[in-house]
Amino acid sequence: MKIAFNIVPLESAHKERGIGYYTKNLLECLKKDPDLEIIEFTNLVDIKKDVDCVHFSWFDLYFHTLPLNTHFPTVVTIHDVIPLIFKEHYPVGMRGKINFILQKFTLNRCKKIITDSLVSKTDIVKYLKINESKITIIPLASDPAFKVLNESKLLLVKRKYNLPDRFLLYVGDANFVKNLPFLIDCFNDLVKLPDFVDLKLVLVGGVFLKNVENIDHPELLSLKKVLMMIKDYGLESKVLRPGRLDLDDLVAFYNLAALYVQPSLYEGFGLPILQALACGAPVLSSNKGALLEVGGNAALYFDPGNKTQFNSLVVETLQNKSLRSKLSKLGLIQAAKFSWEKTAQETKLVYAKIKS
């Protein structure tokens, strides 16, 4: 089969985000398949031969990312529709509203839609009015680099970043759905407990080093609040912000964490959870969105609005070595259920259905 694969996310700001991660890993696996001829393109005019289908690896609700007429059968991946679920936190102007109409029109002409989870499929049907028979669920995976490391490698990274012996870890963005003000509130309560005065919180992501104090943008409100709370609570020495990490260091951070925490109000998948599980880190996750699908029975779950429940679970986990060990073992089993090879094979089946 000849497949034209759009690589715009690899050449844009999406490169360092989840969409770029998905595009890169899926593309690499598809190119290894001897039954597929992958033609990479950024613009439809780049396609100089007939293909069985074209695949757009991302879909933006409010930007015109899908051409009105591709001339080829089209597959598109929609990771989530969070801006439609939390509309009040993702305001759009007139241009965005017009683009949304165009995007929905074009989406209805696509042959197949791929999404990451059952939750996202349900949302797509509900908010975009798409027939569910067109939608295929294909989960993501963590990079093979995410694994348990030996102590010598971990010691080097620990020294490099002067990491404490015991810390909670969060990896990702700081937008509204990540629910980070909740996390800072909970952490502020935890470090007041006698047994947790030494506890640190590590926030990994380039966004946490941004200077947003004088920037007025609705999508930065949550980040501004988080940074203000850290300052107002006097947590500057307890909340560590190393910025964006390279892959090897990030893997080590997961390995070193006493507990990985995901407080999100919603996720269409939840890749950091999978990365943490693959590294043997105990995981404490919100029970919203697709996070239950990703974590399975390998994580502990809480209501992302219940501080008492969250703090109780943190205390219980950090004080119970056998529980942490159990979660770590279950995490490795859960993470092994996901692979990019499996993701690519299931994507190939979608292509085959179009050809047939």
Sheet of 239-243, strand order = 239-243, 200-204, 167-171, 259-262, 283-286, 300-302
Domains 2-141+339-355 and 151-335 in one fold: yes
Give pLDDT, residue 211.
Answer: 78
Positive or negative torsion for Cα 255, 257, 263, 264: negative
pTM of the predicted protein model: 0.93
Q: Write the pLDDT tens digit of every residue in 291-306.
A: 999 999 999 999 999 9
Fold assignment, 151-335 = Rossmann fold (3.40.50)
Confidence of residue 11 (pLDDT cuts 50, 70, 90): confident
Is the predicted pLDDT of residue 216 greater than 70, yes or no?
no
The mean of the pLDDT values for the chain is 93
Domain boundaries, the chain: 2-141+339-355, 151-335
SS3 229: helix
Q: b/e string for 40-75 if b means 16 or more Cβ within 10 A?
A: ebeeeeebeeebbbbbbbbbbbbeebbbeebebbbb
Q: Would you say residue 15 has pLDDT above 70? A: no
pLDDT-derived band at 93, boundaries 50, 70, 90: confident
Per-residue pLDDT at 215: 64
Q: 2-141+339-355 — its CATH code?
A: 3.40.50.2000
pLDDT of res. 45:
82
Question: What confidence category does residue 121 fall into, taking pLDDT thresholds of 50, 70 and 90?
Answer: very high
The residue-averaged pLDDT of 340-349 equals: 97
Q: What are phi and psi of 302, to 5 degrees?
A: -145, 160
Provide DSSP, 98-109: HHHHHHHHHHHH
pLDDT at residue number 218: 64
Beta bridge pairs of residue 302:
286
pLDDT in tens, 177-194: 999 999 999 999 999 999
pLDDT exceeds cutoff 80 at 243: yes
Nearest to 187 by CA among 149, 118, 233, 147: 233
As a whole number, mean pLDDT of residues 99-112 equals 91
Residue 219 has pLDDT above 80, yes or no: no
Q: Quick one: pLDDT band at residue 245, thresholds 50, 70, 90? A: very high
Beta bridge partners of 240: 202
